[in-house]
């Protein structure tokens, strides 16, 4: 009797009863120690086994130690060099004060010599002026004068910005309310044309050779700076001079500055005004040649001024 062997099926094996619990199987098959070992290996590869927070703390501590060392070294060097710097600073201050004192002394000497020269020139005018000595002295500013006249005060507009310049017509400047050198030129020329016999601005006597210029924001009269308000004194018939000036083109120009730009002005007739002598004089003579002597004399005095005395 032949023994029969069981026939092995080649079909799909039956599913395990715990097939639906794959997650639990995975947890059981792979212990948590494997995850810890992997994390430990990764940390060792990244930072030599030290935690990231610990490395950051160590880096911050090292930076603080370095900064403290730099500050300490700097303070020590400053302490060492402080006496040297203080000594050099004091030496510089002493030099500046000494040079300033010397400059002031030289300026006083210049003023003294200028006064002496002016006095000698006045004496020359008195001796050689002939019949017109007083007129020559008046026109040249050689002597102080007093008499009736006008007082004209010109000042910048209120709230005028400092530090500007340039032509008033330019829109690039907002300080159009400032008095310019050319404004003072027109005012003085208008007073001369209206009959003034002598004119002074802020105590500076004007002559036929005086110049009114600008240096930056300052107005210069014979190279001496003036500050506003500008007080103009003119000797002449007070009421007539005031009326003639205000009716002139230059007086209308000043009125337009007041109306359009807020420049402050006031004019009044005075019973007496006092004007000082000019600080320095330039005395010139001319000798006529040939025909037309009078005309030639005038031209030589105004244009060439050859010879001095």
**191-222 pLDDT tens trace:** 999 999 899 999 889 887 888 998 887 899 98
Q: State how far Cα 95 lies from the chain centre.
A: 27
For residue 81, CA distances in Å to 73, 75, 88, 89 come to 12, 10, 11, 12
Q: Tell whether the model's pLDDT for residue 50 goes beyond 70.
A: no
pLDDT: which is higher, 255 or 144: 255
Q: What share of the chain is helix, strand, coil (3-state, %, to 5)?
A: 50, 15, 30
How sure is the predictor about 235, in pLDDT bands with cuts at 50, 70 and 90? very high
CATH code of the domain in which 271 resides: 3.30.70.1880
Residue 254 counted as domain residue: yes
Report whether pLDDT(9) > 70: no
Handedness of CA 53, 57, 63, 64 (dihedral sign): positive
Please name which of 290, 280, 279, 288 lies closest in space to residue 306, comparing C-alpha atoms. Answer: 288
Give the mean pLDDT of 241-268. 92
Would you say residue 35 has pLDDT above 70? no
Does the residue 268 lie in any domain?
Answer: yes
In this prediction, residues 17-40 reach a mean pLDDT of 60
- In-domain check, residue 120: no
Of 119 and 157, more confident = 157
| 300 band by pLDDT with thresholds 50, 70 and 90 | very low
Residue 264 lies in a domain: yes
- 198: in domain: yes
Asked whether residue 235 is assigned to any structural domain, the reply reads: yes
Residue 133: pLDDT band by 50, 70, 90 thresholds?
low
CB atoms within 10 A of CB 280: 14
pLDDT tens-place string over residues 263-280: 999 999 999 999 888 776
Residue 270, H or E segment: strand 264-275
Report the half-sphere exposure of 92 (CA within 13 A, side-chain side).
Answer: 6
Least confident span in 127-131, 208-212, 295-299: 295-299
- Our count of domains for the chain comes to 1
pLDDT at 106: 92
- In the chain, the percentage of residues whose pLDDT exceeds 70 is 61
Q: Is residue 205 domain-resident?
A: yes
How confident is the model at residue 126, as a pLDDT?
66
What does the pLDDT read at residue 76? 75
Q: Could you tell me if residue 99 is inside a domain? A: no
Residue 161: give the domain boundaries.
146-165+172-275
The confidence band for 299, taking pLDDT boundaries of 50, 70 and 90, is: very low
């Amino acid at each position: 009797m032949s023994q029969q062997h069981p026939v092995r099926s080649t079909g799909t094996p039956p599913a395990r009863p715990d097939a639906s619990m794959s997650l639990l199987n995975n947890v059981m098959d792979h212990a948590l120690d494997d995850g810890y070992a992997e994390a430990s290996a990764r940390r060792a590869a990244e930072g030599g086994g030290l935690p990231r927070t610990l490395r950051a703390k160590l880096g911050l501590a090292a930076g603080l130690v370095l900064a403290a060392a730099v500050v300490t070294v700097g303070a020590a060097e400053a302490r060492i060099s402080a006496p040297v710097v203080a000594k050099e600073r004091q030496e510089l201050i002493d030099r500046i004060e000494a040079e300033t004192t010397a400059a002031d002394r030289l300026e006083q000497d210049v003023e003294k010599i200028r006064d002496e020269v002016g006095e000698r020139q006045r004496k020359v005018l008195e001796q050689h002026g002939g019949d017109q000595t007083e007129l020559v002295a008046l026109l040249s500013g050689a002597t102080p004068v007093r008499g009736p006249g006008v007082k004209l005060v010109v000042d910048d507009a209120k709230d005028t910005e400092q530090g500007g310049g340039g032509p008033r017509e330019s829109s690039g400047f907002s300080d159009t309310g400032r008095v310019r050198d050319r404004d003072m030129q027109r005012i003085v020329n208008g007073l001369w044309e209206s009959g003034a016999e002598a004119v002074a601005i802020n105590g500076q006597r004007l002559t036929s050779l005086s110049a009114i210029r600008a240096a930056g924001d300052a107005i210069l009269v014979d190279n001496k700076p003036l500050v506003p308000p500008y007080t103009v004194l003119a000797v002449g018939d007070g009421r007539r001079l005031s009326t003639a000036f205000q009716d002139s083109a230059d007086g209308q120009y000043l009125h337009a500055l007041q109306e359009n730009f807020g420049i402050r002005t006031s004019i009044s007739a005075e019973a007496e005004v006092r004007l000082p002598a000019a600080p320095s004089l330039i005395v010139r003579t001319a000798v006529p040649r040939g025909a037309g002597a009078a005309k030639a004399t005038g031209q030589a005095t105004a244009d060439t001024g050859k010879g001095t005395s």
